[in-house]
Every structure is written in C-alpha cells, then in structure tokens.
Amino acid sequence: MALPLRKPLFWIHLVVGVVVGIVVAIMSVTGVAIAFESQVLEWAEAEARAVPAPQAEVRRLPIEALVAKVREAKPEAQVSGVTVYPSATAAAQVALGRAGVVFVNPYTGEVREGGAKGWRDFFHVMEDWHRWLATGGDNRAIGKAITGASNAGFLFLALSGLYLWWPRRWTLKTVRPVLWFKRGLKGKPRDFNWHNVIGLWSMPVLVVLTASGMVISYKWASDFVYSVTGNPAPATQGPPGSAGVKVTPPEGGGPRKELGALLATVQEQVPAWSSITYRLPSPPRGAGGQDKPSAPPGQAPSAPPRAGQGEPGARAEAPVVAGERRAESPVTNSERRTETPAGEGAPRAESRGGAPVGEGERRVEAPAAEGERRAESRGGAPVAEGERRAEGKSRGESRGPKGDSDGKVDAVTFNVKEQDGWPLFASTQFSVDPFSGVIAKREGFADFNSGRKLRTWLRFLHTGEALGWVGQLIAAMASLGGVFLVWTGFALSWRRFFPKRNPRTSTPVPASSEPTPVSSPETPA
C-alpha cells in the first residue's frame, strides 16, 4: 500500500537532515560522553570521598565548622552547599559553585581535592558543546538557539523516519532489509540497511530524548506540559521551584539554633536518608554587581569573587549527590549550570546521557529547586540573606533594599534523598524555622501537581537518570545510534546528489572478412 505524501515527506526529511545533521551529531557524541558522568566521577574520586573510620567517642563537626574549614583553605571560593552522608566513612561534599567541589573529613575538618579535575574539565567541555556549541558570553544565546532548533529537527526526523520506513508490503522479503542488519553489504546498500535498522530501533528512545529536550529548551513546550495536565504553568521557564518559606522571628530577636540541631530534626523525619544537602542562601548583590558571599554567624564575610570566578549574579549550585547529575550544561558535572535544550537540559539531558542531553541537565534536582536545573542551590552562608537582614533590623542597622517589609526571615532549607526512594530522582525539601527548629514546610515529589511531576520526569528521562544506570545506558546507546544515523544519512544524500558515473565502454564489433548480406523484402533473411 502506497502511503500518501511519501515523496514530498522524503525530500523534507532529507533536507532537514542535511541542515541539522552536524549539530545533531555533536549533541549525540557529547550525549554519549556525559551519559555516565556521575558514575565516572564517583569512581575517580573514590579515594577523596572516603575517610578512616572514627573512634567511637569522636563526633562529627557541625556544618558551620565544615564551611569555615573550607573557607580557610580556599578563601577565594564561594561555598554554595554542603552534602552529608550517613556512612561513618563518607566525607562531606562541599560545593564551590562553578569552581567545583571539595571533600571534607567530617571529624577532623581536613579539606581534600576530589582528584578528578581532568574528568570534571572534560565533562564541562562536553556539556558546553552539548548545550551551547561551546559558545560563551553574548554568543551563548545563539548557540542555545541552534541546539534547540536542531533538537526540534531531530524530533521531526525521528517521527518522519518511521513514516518513510513503513513498508509498502508486509512480506519477509520487504521487511527483512529494514528490520535487521544484513551481512556482506557495501556502499549504498549497507548505508541504507544501517540507516533503516538503527533508525527503527532507536526511534522510541530518540523521540523521548528530543521531546524532553524541547520541553527543556522552550518555555512554550514546558507550559504545554502543564496545560495538558490541567495545571497552571509557572511564570518562569523550567519546572517551578518552591517559593522560599518565610518565618516570623520571635519578638525581641531570639537566638537562632545551630545548624546541627536543625539537621538532627530533619534526620528524625527521614530515618532512612541516604544524603542531606544544606543549600546556603544566595549572597546579596553588591553595589558593583558582584555577589558578596555571606559568612556563618560570628565570621566576617569572605571577599567577593574575582573577575572570571563565576558570573555576576549567577546562582551557585548545590553539591551533586552521588548518582545524580548536575544540570546546566556547561554544567560541569551537574546541572551545574542550567538545563538547556537538547541541550538546555539535558540531556544532569537538562543531560547527561543520551542524545541531546538536557542542559545539564545533571545535578541534584531538589523538589523545590527544580529550576530546571537538576537542582541548583545557592551560595552563601549558613545564615540566609533575609535572616541577616532581620538581624540587622533587630540591632538597629539599616536594611538592604530587598529587606522584608513584614519582618519575616527565610527558613533554613535541607534537601533529603531517601534510600530506595521512588522515583530515583525524587528528594524531599524541608524548610525549618531557624529559631524554634520546627518544620515549617515539607515538600516532596508526591506533593507536586501532575504537571510538575510530568515536567520533572521529562527532565530526568532526557538524561536517562530516571531509570538509573539502565536508563542511562539506553539513552547512551540511542545517542550513539544518532551518530550513525547522521553518518549514513549524509552518505545516502551524497550519493543521491553526486552519483558516481561509470565511463561508458563501447562493445567492439568483431571484424568480418566478408560483408554480411543485408536482408531485403526480396532476399529472405
């Protein structure tokens, strides 16, 4: 049965493939490269992540002390988050924004480098290419637009390819060459066979990767997810983060509880926790536009970052929890920056295993901070910016322009991952009153509306992390298939537009000693 519009669709398919092929190949190669980023980093930093088992009487240092130790060892760095683990031999992981991470002995305060700088730099470069074609500055928006459009083109190629693949007659002879690999083929027959077979088997995964990349790349696509599920779309692009919880301080400005006490309260709420991340609040913006890192109570704020150390006003990311990716495609190893289309995301891909991985998709996506990022956290100090303002007010100090008119301050936020939790990427955010230690708000994946749940699933399906290492492997294999589709597609197109012409050879006429009689009506032949 001949399918209608097959010929015009074929030519559209061919032209779109030629136009977006190079970018699709780049996103596919980089998608494969970052597919197992979290596992590779965990392996490369295994020594730094482990500490000797402590004596029975030795107690863990409080979070404030760990932050102070890191700032003492790295005064130029801006601490953005601290992740602790239940194992007695696991080091605490401290995120330094875009400067990477360090590991701290939770008993002695010894600060150690991860030892995988080469790997982190490699993943950073791969994510830059995946999300923005390695563009920077003002050109980054152009790179993002190109990867987003190419990702959309790849989605069209996957869907139209299935239509073109559909056999006219379903017989073994017609289906066999486009259903499985055939040995002994060379040239055009081999490219045709590979293009059809790889395209058929990778098509379902590529549709998921590219469709989720669309949601990461374009706000209208993200809003569509909410509209389909009957929920209002968030005002900003990407999954909505939880609005900062505000609490009212006691009259007279009572003392704040130590972070250790607040952490213990959270641990009681989730006995089977596998990691807890304390996300330091965003530092206030200085007059010159530079972020001024805040300091723990009793410490002077550290110096502002130098030129080149992160982007002014950029938000710091939370430490990546083992097994999770960051998120911003430059995202170094995490959403580290922010998701992007086939790169926004994403491939944390949005991003980072399969084809167009999301912008970055790979860090920890905190329920609240989905922010398209796998979960970016803010840099700052143990005391939230709003809290510091409130303290200033109680002391008679002038308040900044962003001070809360109602006198409320920010609650302290912890993101908790549970052992054997489902979905694998799910985490629960606790907002704790810093004065009373009471849980002001608890929000987990189950509390999201259907639109946000679907949006979060798409974010982690883009990188394959939604299904663990199996999903990452499937996404990586489909991305590798994308590379072969580009190669065989270009080869078939080249042969169509520039066919090889074989020189014509005239067949020699054998010489005859006698003339051959010519038959005529009169002469019988």
- Amino acid, res. 147: T
Distance CA 330, CA 311 (A): 13
User: How do residues 18-42 score in pLDDT, each as one tens digit?
Assistant: 999 999 999 999 999 999 999 999 9
Pairing of strands 428-432, 101-104: unpaired
| 517 prior amide bond cis, ω within 30 | no
Specify burial of residue 404 (Cβ count, 10 A radius: 0-12, 13-18, 19+): middle
**CA 326 to each of CA 35, 247, 257: distance values in angstroms, whole numbers, following the listed order:** 12, 30, 31
**Which stretches of 324-457 are assigned E, i.e. beta strand?**
340-341, 344, 409-410, 412-418, 428-432, 439-443
pLDDT over 90, % of the chain: 56
- pLDDT score of 479: 97
CA gap 525, 509 in Å, rounded = 21
Tell me the C-alpha distance between 470 and 324, whole Å: 14
Paired strand residues for 276: 84, 416
**Cα distance between residue 79 and residue 87, in whole Å:** 23
Tokens for 89? 């031999």
Q: How far is CA 364 from the centre of its chain?
A: 10
Tokens 């965990």 found at:
42
Classify the C-alpha dihedral 445-446-447-449 as positive or negative: positive
CA distances to 99, 235, 467 from 31, rounded to whole Å, are 23, 29, 16
Contacts with 298 (C-beta within 8 Å, 6 or more apart), sequence order: none
Residues of the chain with pLDDT under 50: 285-403, 516-525
CA distance 355 to 30: 8
DSSP codes of every residue in 271-328 = TTEEEEEEEPPPPPBPTTS-B-----TTSPPPPPPPTTSS-TTPPPPPPPPTT---BS
d(CA 335, CA 320): 9
The Cα 482–Cα 480 span in angstroms is 5
